[in-house]
Amino acid sequence: MVNEPATSTLDPELRTMLDSATDVSDERATCAARLFKALGEPVRVRLLSLVAQSVGGEVCFRDLADQFDMPQPSLSHHLKILVNAGILERERKGTWSRYRVIESHLAVLENILRAGGPFRAVPCC
SS3 call for 68? coil
With a pLDDT cut of 90, the percent of the chain lying above it is 46
pTM here? 0.73
pLDDT digits (tens, 9 = 90+) for 31-59: 778 888 999 999 999 999 999 999 888 99
Query: CB-based contacts of 16: which residues, under 8 Å, 6+ apart?
Result: 28
Distance, in Å, from the CA atom of 62 to the CA atom of 64, rounded to the nearest integer, reads 5
Distance, in Å, from the CA atom of 76 to the CA atom of 67, rounded to the nearest integer, reads 13
Please, are residues 64 and 79 in contact by the beta-carbon 8 Å criterion? yes
Domains and CATH numbers, the chain: 11-113 (1.10.10.10)
